[in-house]
Structure 1
């Protein structure tokens, strides 16, 4: 039977017998093989800005490194630029930009037995794309676990009352060193590890607040007592001065009298002067 008749019996026309190659996968690993005309504008991206490829070339962006695998073996690491496509090659794109890792709060016993909650932030980047891809399935998770263990070991040697002061900065430095050592073999570079929060139990926080309030109140009372002592000393000096100079007392009386007041003054000779208007 002619092929045309078979096509008509099967319900498939001659134009439908062509097979199209599946579209390239939209993931980090990119298979590059013989492409049809429909793949000419295909591209593999990460967040819309990843490595692009077409029928003849691939382009690696400035914030990426691409690992080229030929027949399952790593053949080369592609720096930013444009490269010709290679048959039977696959590419794995690694983003080398800085990333932020949040270390979740965990209850850790301090040196004095008080349970504190400590959280931290870790800023990291991919320093060695090959090690990052080949050594571990999830290298960032291994660094995360190493930092958590380091937090427990470091906090166990510090008293809870010291974690909010200088010891907190020292703790961040110690965690940075631990994370750097853990990430070195995994291809991860550590920028910094910072202690984000140190939370004491509610009872301890209340006690610390009460002690702080009592301390501030004591300082306020001390300052009030000092001011009162100074005022009394000044008044004693003024009284002694007025006692030594009676005329000065009378003059001060005239100065302090309100406007329009009439004062009767006894002069030293015995004469009395009445109806003296002040400020008249």
Structure 2
């Protein structure tokens, strides 16, 4: 009965009743002005000249077209129910809910939260020239999925990262993971390998002094000793090394004839290497061993050189044969002299010859005895 009377009275007076749950809040405007923010429970409101906004505080954020008016006209209501967080132009604000990162505000941004949905705390991080954020903070934000506000890059072991912000070199980064705020500025990290490396120059065509076109393959060991100079002095230090090797060897080898080039290969390396090392040292590159690996001749020249080498080797072989024949003849002459002066030695040679002959026949017939055989069969002298 009482409930019916209450409803009747509300209708007569132009009111109605609204019930809000624990997770709901209502913004009430009467005749265009903000009059209240209602909490959970039953509320009696006028039906005319009233605007109502129901908000779910589980969404955490307060989003309303009347937000700025509320803070300007009714700061008491805003302070009682809402938490406003602003990030200044030179800082990043990390909002934590119960100690866990919830949102990150980049410079010149704001966020309004329901105070009762907290507790809320704010960590403020000043922007540095490098825009880097602490590694521990980057890991916390990554664990909570807040990775859209920063970029991460990894510098490998044995490398160094050269950091530039808006095209200006800011310094070097050690191996590891590094993170940088996304605040509308361009951040780039170029990795430079500090280990000893090999650089190859293949198929380099050179015209020698005697107008023979050859192709050479070069190799050089190098190491970056000053990354700042290597990155800042030239656009690409590897390309600069490649060009220095080409020019130095072209100049050195072009002043030599083919025969001298092939004969003084090691000396040529030393002369060209000295020029390359001096040039690369000026941009922070230490060049180690430089070698002329291959000298490739054109087809016709290879055939000519092969014929020349073959002729030289044939001539050497003929000289050796003549020398051996002379030595053999001289040995035979000495043997003949010994036999002529020593009859016993002669008879031994006769017996050796007889033994050789006897070994090659199946049957041997002796007519006049052993003495007659040896006397008649072998007669080297009267």
TM value normalised by structure 2: 0.52
Alignment match of 1:204 (pick from 293, 301, 311):
301
Equivalent positions of 1:47-62 (< 5 A) are: 50=156, 61=157
Kept in 2, the 8 Å contact 1:68–1:75? The answer is: yes
Matches within 5 A, 1:120-135: 120-135=218-233
Equivalent position of 2:331 in the other structure:
234
Q: Does 1:107 align with 2:216?
A: no
* Corresponding residue to 1:37 among 114, 117, 140: 140
| CA deviation profile, 1:58-113 (whole Å, cap 9, x unmatched) | xxx4x233445578655544567x89989788755432111211112121110111
Deviates more, 1:227-236 or 1:146-155: 227-236
Q: 1:263 to 1:129 in 2, by over 3 A?
A: farther
Structure 2 alignment gaps of length 5 or more: 1-51, 64-101, 106-129, 375-382
1:64 paired residue number: 159
Question: Counterpart in 2 of 1:269?
Answer: none
Q: Structure 1 residues 197 and 31 mapped into 2: Cα distance closer, same or farther (>3 Å)?
A: farther
Q: What's the C-alpha RMSD, in Å, of the aligned pairs? A: 4.1
SS at match of 1:250: helix
CA contact (8 A) 2:154 2:177 kept: no
Q: Which has the larger radius of gyration?
A: 2
Instruction: Work out the CA distance in 1 between the residues paired with 2:104 and 2:352.
Output: 111
Could you tell me how far apart the structure 2 residues matched to 1:216 and 1:84 are? 67
The C-alpha deviation readout for 1:24-63, integer Å capped at 9, x for no partner, is xxxxxx96347473436996335xxx1xxxxxxxxxx4x2
Aligned residues: 239
SS in 1 for 2:153: coil
Structure 2 equivalent of residue 55 of structure 1: none
In 1, Cα distance between equivalents of 2:178 and 2:316:
77
Query: 2:216 — aligned with what?
Result: 118
> Of the candidates 194, 200, 209, which is equivalent to residue 96 of structure 1?
194
Residue 254 of structure 1 corresponds to which residue in structure 2? 351
State whether residues 248 and 272 of structure 2, in contact with CA within 8 Å, keep that contact through their aligned partners in structure 1. yes
Aligned equivalent of 1:155: 253
In 2, Cα distance between the equivalents of 1:135 and 1:235?
A: 80
Distance change in 2, residues 1:94/1:245 (3 Å): closer
Superposed CA deviations along residues 209-234 of structure 1, whole A, max 9, x for unmatched, are 11211222222222222222222222
SS of the residue corresponding to residue 100 of structure 1 reads strand
Aligned to 1:225: 322
Pair 105,251 (structure 1): closer, same or farther in 2 beyond 3 Å: closer
Question: How much does 1:14 deviate?
Answer: 4.7
Using the TM superposition, give the Cα deviation of residue 171 of structure 1 relative to its aligned residue in structure 2, in angstroms. Answer: 2.0
Given that 1:160 and 1:200 are in contact with CA atoms closer than 8 Å, whether structure 2 keeps it comes out as no
Moved more, 224-233 or 116-125: 224-233
